[in-house]
A = this chain, B = another copy of it.
Amino acid sequence: MKDKLNSINVVAVGVSGRGKGMLRRLLPMEDVNIVGISDLYEDRMEEAAALVEEARGVKPVLKRDYRELLEMDGVDAVMTAASWTAHARICLDAMNAGKYVGTEVGGATSIEECWELVRTSERTGMPCMMLENCCYGRPEMAVLNMISKGMFGELIHAEGGYRHDLRDEVCMGRENRHYRLANYLNRTGDVYPTHELGPIAKYLGINRGNRMVSLSSMASKARGAAAWVAQHKPDDEYLKGREFALGDIVVTNIKCAHGEVITLYHDTTLPRPYSRGNLLQGTKGIWMEDKQGVYFDGVSPKPHEWESIEKYYKRYDHPLWKKYIREGVKEGHGGMDHLVLRGFVNAVKKQIQTPIDVYDTASWMAITTLSEDSVNMGGLPVAIPDFTNGRWIEREPSPDTPFNLDRVCRAAYL
């Protein structure tokens, strides 16, 4: 399919650390022009503009209120890496202005917000893509490929987590302006579920032949952040003696329409090495990321013994990754940051649906607010809305995405 647009004009909203990283990865793309930048902080805006000017020789338009940028001529897309609680409003304004929108990850604060994203995307015809980079991770995509070859058999269970000790980022004090800090002080629940949930949702055909139906969340006490502050920032006026609302560990069990159970962990305020904690089990095999191991019934050489996943990663590299490696992997979380941005940019250029669509975006974001509800009601199971309004039953895997899992998610259920 030929691109309808040779190049696209993008407005970037929110240019903190993550937003600037996004710009750095977009600027080498010759088919992407950064025409406008918005941030609530002047210094961030100027820094980001300097990056663009240095790379392209043209200074983008800067506005503290991003809505003014939406009125500019020729803007094709908005990409936002603003704070979590601002994502939905920015997405809505962008779609209402007739723009594609790509949003950095983060959960919703209400179910109504998720529905509004869906309604607005449906009404305007504008796609809304969560830029979930882990959907494009090399291990995750190789596993997706193995699933499509039937190696795991029927999928039964998946685990994953955002298990990342962020104490020395988040708890550095208010002047550090970390988007997580205010959330950690006030909310408890899985505030950041999508790095693991996005890929799992693709494995399980969520919103295309399957859906998430209910969840129960429990949160531990919150001790890690306050203990870190007491030890490392004992004189911080803002944080001294404050209680954090966010439980150190939040565990969420999600039930799917076809009987699979997904278990998610949010774990960012205790000492630990980084892990996405991926584990996948089916009737024929298992993958465990922390073990770097797999086991396949009748395939693995020794019964009941792990084998290294390395040779499988090589043999089952996803076609997208094979091509990408041939062309030379770009930086950014091992290359996946580049791929997710290209997924979005290519959809804008072709003027087609994004590979992660508004139903994905809404249903993944919803997990956060529902997890908070469940935690606050002592682990009570809560229903997960069907944002497709029944269309998930018949929705085909999109032919335009690398997540086309025809063999598994359709064959199993129809």
Contacts and interface: CB of A to CB of B under 8 A. Distances in A.
Copies in the complex: 2
A284 interface: yes
Interface string A303-321: 0111000000000000000
Interface stretch (A18-26, A221-229, A329-337): A221-229
A271 B248 contact: no
Interface string A258-288: 1111010001001111100000011111101
A372 B10 CA distance: 53
Nearest to A381: B379
A202 interface: no
Contact of A253 (B153, B283, B290, B379): B379
A385 to B, nearest CB: 16
Contact of A271 (B272, B291, B297): B297
Looking at A165, A215, A224, the one whose CB has the most chain B CB atoms below 10 A away is A224
Contacts of A234: none
Contacts of A304: 165, 272-274
Interface residues of A, number: 52
Interface in A363-383: 378-381
A261 B220 contact: yes
A315 B382 CA distance: 46
B216 A260 contact: no
B156 A223 contact: yes
A216 B249 contact: no
Interface in A314-373: none
Contacts of A270: 156-157, 281-283, 286
A87 interface: no
Contacts of A291: 290-291
A219 B283 CA distance: 15
Given A156-B224, A216-B253, A221-B258, A306 B273 contact: yes
A218 interface: yes
Contacts of A156: 220-221, 223-224, 248-249, 270
Given A227-B283, A272-B304, 6 more contacts: A221-B258, A221-B259, A263-B263, A273-B304, A273-B306, A378-B381
21 contacts: A156-B221, A157-B220, A157-B270, A214-B378, A215-B379, A216-B381, A219-B261, A220-B260, A221-B258, A247-B261, A248-B283, A249-B281, A255-B378, A267-B281, A270-B282, A271-B295, A271-B297, A272-B286, A272-B304, A290-B290, A291-B291
